[in-house]
């Protein structure tokens, strides 16, 4: 039986390969209309995405913003990730991302969900903008006097 690390590595490799094939086959102009981010937000909440990704996409188990993930940078890869993982993640996971077959999220739903996710921005302040944290880091970096 494969270890969780091997399963994860195989999933990552398969997702990357499928994504590259999809990118090569995709039409140059992409979707003809932008997604509806307001409807995407409703889907994000209705499908419980906030449970792992937080309401702003930067809290919880997996951040959606600020990671530079290619899955978030391209709608085709995002859709593939949602669809082609049925053998890797259950519909009702306890600790892993669920799969979303077309019966659960139509392509139009994915288009709108992706539009919403692309509106998410990091809201974490810079370290230098948090006086207490800045002071803690200054103290921590100062050599201790003996």
- How many distinct structural domains can be found in the chain? 1
Considering the domain boundaries, does residue 146 fall inside one? no
CB 89 within 8 A of CB 14: no
pLDDT in tens, the chain (146 residues): 556 656 655 666 665 555 555 544 444 445 567 899 999 999 999 998 888 888 888 876 677 777 667 777 889 988 988 887 655 655 555 566 778 888 889 999 999 999 999 898 877 777 788 889 888 888 888 887 76
Question: Which candidate, 122, 121, 116, places its Cα nearest to that of 45?
Answer: 116
Number of H helices, E strands in the chain: 7, 0
Q: What is the CATH number of the domain that holds 35?
A: 1.10.760.10
Per the structure, the complete domain to which residue 84 belongs is given by 4-141
Q: Whole-model pTM?
A: 0.62
Considering the domain boundaries, does residue 116 fall inside one? yes
Sign of CA pseudo-dihedral 79, 90, 59, 40? positive
């Amino acid at each position: 039986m494969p270890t969780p690390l091997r399963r994860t590595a195989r999933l990552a490799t398969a997702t990357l390969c499928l994504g590259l094939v999809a990118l090569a086959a995709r039409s140059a102009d992409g979707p003809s209309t932008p997604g509806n981010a307001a409807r995407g937000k409703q889907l994000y909440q209705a499908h419980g995405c906030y449970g792992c990704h937080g309401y702003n996409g930067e809290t919880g188990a997996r951040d959606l913003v600020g990671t530079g993930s290619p899955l978030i940078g391209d709608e085709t890869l995002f859709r593939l990730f949602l669809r082609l993982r049925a053998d890797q993640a259950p519909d009702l996971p306890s600790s892993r991302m669920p799969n979303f077959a077309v019966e659960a999220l139509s392509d139009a739903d994915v288009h709108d969900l992706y539009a919403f996710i692309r509106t998410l921005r990091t809201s974490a302040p810079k370290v230098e903008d948090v006086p207490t944290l800045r002071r803690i880091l200054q103290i921590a970096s100062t050599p201790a006097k003996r």
